[in-house]
Amino acid sequence: MIRELESQGVVSKTHSPFNSPIWPVHKSDGEWRLTVDYRALNKVTPPLGAAVPDMLELQYELESKAAKYPTICHGLIQAALEKGEAPEHLQYIDDIIVWGNTAAEVFEKGKKVIQILLEAGFAIKKSKVKGPAHEIQFLGIKWQDGRQQIPTEVINKITVMSPPTNKKETQAFLGAIGFWRMHIPEYSQIVSPLYLVTHKKNDFHWGPEQQQAFAQIKQEIAHAVALGPVRTGPDMKNVLYSAAGNNGLSWSLWQKVPGETRGRPLGFWSRSYRGSKANYTPTEKEILAAYEGVQATSEMIGTETQLLLAPRLPVLGWMFKGEVPSTHHATDATWSKWIALITQRARMGKLNRPGILEIITNWPEGENFGLTDEEQEQMTRAEEAPPYNQLPAEETHYALFTDGSCRIVGMNRKWKAAVWSPTRQVAEATEGEGGSSQLAELKAVQLALDIAEREGWPRLYLYTDSWMVANALWGWLKRWKEANWQRGGKPIWAAKEWKDIATRVERLPVKVCHVDAHIPKSRANEEHRNNEQVDRAAKIEVSKIDLDWEHKGELFLARWAHDASGHQGRDATYKWARDRGVDLTMDSVSQVIHDCETCAAIKQAKRVKPLWYGGRWSKYKYGEAWQIDYITLPQTRQGKRYVLTMVEATTGWLETYPVPHATARNTILGLEKQVLWRHGTPERIESDNGTHFKNSLINTWAREHGIEWVHHIPYHAPAAGKVERHNALLKTQLKALGGGSFKNWEQYLAKATWLANTRGSTN
């Protein structure tokens, strides 16, 4: 073969020490591919910090110079196609693809491209030409109906791979799967144990974590979803989900149009924290995840389309506030970069349709108001009222500010609703029992409608700091009415109140404006001062009303801190928030704790006999009911920092399972290995509301196994019963076995579990 090529002038003999030899490679179809053997050259070539040139600079350099290339050049084919006025196509070097709506259309376009290339002097192998098809492979990717998928042969090749036995094989495996990372949610977090063994400073050690990560990523590849296509149009909704975990960032982009039951993913991104980013506060990490997500997705869908941002914690408020919090780890320059990009992207939208909207995916108190997460979007603001300070003077007479709250009084919940008239400087109020603060917000709207109807107003301008109220009046009411006030065959939350409001809104034109309550006094306008006044006036005119508008934004953050920290006391909640970059006042923390329904339920639970003894557990036999939880420990050298604890309800028997990440998949793996395989399939499992316990993967698994999965009061130890007592006992045993610390806790875990089971009842 070499002699034949030499006779044709393709290759030639040389004795120069500066040339590298030709290296023929036999292809699977029997043909040969010519490559160059650079091994000798690589031995004497110093490594470069940036071996890959910047594509933009390379493009400028190639366009500005004329050169003779010995191989087919990208630019030569492109020039020939442009000169011949080729139909719409996509070209990468010598790979060209055309598309159309029918086979005949694609055939004609392909025929035209081939004709242009032949006339330009290029040779085309017939075996390389693929006819029109619904499904093709281009550049190694499977394309079907505009959606990119992992080819079946690639999946089969990866799934049969054996576990690596050294660093080089591990790197080769990571290289094979890394190309498909956009198909895999949280790819970086899954494969982090594999990257750990490839580090130069680490010896190669293939442990249980690596084996689990190896098996999990192969399973993810086998079940990877198709991505795309990128669609456009006024009804298209682009939703960006972002989250910051313990070990890295992740975000995903989805598109949805009316009529689709679920959206289509365009891609999944993830990466670990680099350098000092691991030391960021939780708020800063969430902002970083949103920032990275906005950057990546803008390249895919452009900057003119509206982006619905769904972070795990609110971030837009920090960006538009424009101030760096007093407790922060990221530099001022980094904060400025975040603020500039996100606020600029948000302002790129059209009137009444900003470039970025933050959407709510988890409502307080667990009430979803009859909507799925993807549907809880801020609607187009066709009926939005102007800010109060922009209302014409004659229209301010028809403006009302509303608010609602809920408190625990003794053993009962009491709600209160208030309406403030800024022109009359008076408030009206109503109250009742057995409702939440969201119900109070609805009652306030009804009270405002009562006032407008009673006085014969031609229209009503409603100002509220409740996104729930604003979104419902902007668009949800119409959707709920069309669905007969039901969702999935069940009535929506507070259907009676919503029906009443919808009926009255049809008779009376209502325009709604959402008021940002978290505004510093220095920047407050008349609208925000009315928010402040509604509380003062309510206290003066109606002595029973004790609502607070001025600090609603701070109360939201305080409520989040109190919930996330585990319903601790005032000082502990305050310190927990400060450690995470959130500035609160003691008054706001005290207010939230006083209003906390969970804390009230906990206090009530302490007065009665624990449910563990008798009661609901008496009907279960051994192994039929379990409580589970995660505890966090210092990260081991193998990357593990969580232990899944599982306690049998009737005996208190403890099972443990160490994992690197508290995820739904690890939860299922731990339950199968430690519970189902040892004790049989349970009838009931109890856990808190963490995302590693409450998601679609867990729901599907539990349903397939016939298990009733119950979520108790979130983030609180006593509500979890015996599992939390065993958690404390397990930590005590691990610390004692570690000589006063949790060092090397993983090697003591089995013994500590045994001690908890043998001594737990008497300890």
Looking at the 3D structure of the chain, how many domains does it have? Answer: 6
Q: Is residue 189 part of a domain?
A: yes
pLDDT at residue 612 above 60?
no
Q: Does one domain contain both 111 and 213?
A: no
How many Å apart are CA 444 and CA 562, to the nearest integer?
Answer: 26
How many angstroms separate the CA atoms of 620 and 466, rounded?
44
Residue count (the chain): 763
By the 10 Å C-beta count (0-12 exposed, 13-18 middle, 19+ buried), 326 is classed as exposed
Q: What is the pLDDT of residues 463-494, one digit of tens each?
A: 887 767 776 776 677 777 877 887 656 787 78
Q: Are residues 524 and 388 in the same domain?
A: yes
Q: Are residues 311 and 197 in the same domain?
A: no
Model pLDDT, residue 234: 78
Which of 22-31, 401-410, 516-525, 729-738 bottoms out in mean pLDDT, i.e. has the lowest?
A: 516-525
Convert 694-733 into a string of H (helix), E (strand) and C (coil). CCHHHHHHHHHCCCEEEECCCCCCHHHCHHHHHHHHHHHH
Encode pLDDT of 250-271 as tens digits. Answer: 989 988 877 766 678 899 999 8
CATH of the domain at 430: 3.30.420.10
Of 645, 602, 609, give the one whose Cα is nearest residue 626. 645
Query: For 410-451, how does the pLDDT look when each residue is reduced to its tens digit (9 = 90+)?
Result: 556 677 788 888 888 777 888 888 777 778 888 999 999 999
Same domain, yes or no, for 626 and 718?
yes
Domain assignment of residue 603, yes or no: no
Asked whether residue 493 falls in the same domain as residue 407, the answer is yes
pLDDT tens for 371-403 read 333 333 333 333 678 888 888 888 989 999 888
| Residue 520 covered by a domain | yes
The verdict on residue 366 lying in a domain is no
* Residues 331 and 251 placed together within one structural domain of the fold: yes
- Write the pLDDT tens digit of every residue in 23-80: 888 887 778 888 888 888 888 877 654 444 444 334 334 443 444 344 445 577 888 8
pLDDT in tens, 685-725: 988 888 888 888 898 899 888 888 888 755 444 445 667 78
pTM of the model: 0.45
Residues 406 and 534 in one domain: yes
What is the mean predicted confidence (pLDDT) over 722-731?
82
Domain, as residue range, for 622: 615-759
368 domain residue, yes or no: no
> In the predicted model, is pLDDT for residue 235 greater than 60?
yes
* pLDDT above 80 for 109: yes
Question: Which of the pair, 122 or 15, is modelled with greater confidence?
Answer: 122
* Model pLDDT for residues 147-176, shown as the tens digit of each residue: 889 998 999 999 999 999 999 999 999 988
Q: Answer yes or no: do 423 and 529 share one domain.
A: yes
Same domain (yes/no): 128, 103: yes
Which tops the pLDDT comparison, 138 or 373?
A: 138
Question: Could you tell me if 644 and 729 lie in one domain?
Answer: yes
Distance (Å, whole) CA 287 – CA 267: 20
369 found inside a domain: no
pLDDT digits (tens, 9 = 90+) for 303-326: 778 888 888 777 887 787 777 777
Output the pLDDT for position 752.
86
Q: Domain boundary residue among 498, 515, 550?
A: 550
| Spatial separation of the C-alpha atoms in residues 555 and 560, rounded to whole Å | 8
Q: What percent of the chain has pLDDT over 70?
A: 77
| pLDDT band per the 50, 70, 90 thresholds, residue 518 | very low
Q: Is residue 606 part of a domain?
A: no
Q: Residue 441 in contact with residue 499, Cβ under 8 Å?
A: no
pLDDT at 210 over 80: yes
CATH of the domain at 196: 3.30.70
Q: Which two tokens stand for residue 626?
A: 């379990």
Q: How far apart are CA 435 and CA 601, in angstroms?
A: 15
